Amino acid sequence: MFDTIVIATDGSDSVRRAVDVAVDVAARFDAEVHAVYVVDSGEVESTPDEVRDDLRDALDDHGEAALDQVTDAATARDADLDITIEAREGRPAAEISKYAREIDADVVAMGTRGRHGENRFLIGSVAERVVRTCPIPVLTVRQLTDEDPRRTTI
């Protein structure tokens, strides 16, 4: 049913549950996992010249850590999972959709809120855009609140 799963990550706390759910689905179907992180070129270009390089470096480091989180989660769940990581730069929703099409993914998994999650009421702007524009099915996973009885703590 699922051979190739794209996990879109921005490294935020709210994406962790989406990573866990997507990795679980991948393990159940013995699917390839493709983790993708996109540096928002608009965010970089809109910063003052004096700090642009520092911001890009920080976002690159953050992206590497976010992709490592996905790799660690996948390896912890099933050491035999095939994992590919991809870092890109551009408009996040467009790049996520483009990558999913390029690899002929079966599903894209992502959190409903990202680094700027407080700004959106129901679903983050990137997730919303991917859901609306991606020709591949999108699995959105919301972060559970502390009060949610389904939330587990370790």
Q: Please state, as a whole number, how many other Cβ atoms lie within 10 Å of the Cβ of residue 48.
A: 7
Asked whether the predicted pLDDT for residue 95 surpasses 70, the reply is yes
Type of residue found at 64: E
Contact 36, 9 (CB under 8 A): yes
Burial classification of residue 43, based on how many CB atoms lie within 10 Å of its CB (0-12 exposed, 13-18 middle, 19 or more buried): middle
- Name every residue whose Cβ is closer than 8 Å to that of residue 100 and which is 6 or more positions away in sequence: 6, 108, 134, 136
Per-residue pLDDT at 128 exceeds 70 = yes
Task: Please report the pLDDT score of residue 122 as a whole number.
Answer: 46
**What is the mean predicted confidence (pLDDT) over 83-110?**
97
The sign of the torsion formed by the CA atoms of 83, 65, 136, 24 equals positive
Q: Give the tens place of pLDDT for each residue, 35-88.
A: 999 999 988 899 999 999 999 999 999 999 999 999 999 999 999 999 999 999
Domains by residue range for the chain, with CATH: 4-141 (3.40.50.620)
Mean per-residue pLDDT of the chain: 89
Q: What is the pTM of this model?
A: 0.86
Give dist(CA 140, CA 35) in Å, integer: 15
Give me the mean pLDDT over the 3-28 stretch: 94
Q: Which two tokens stand for residue 46?
A: 């809109």
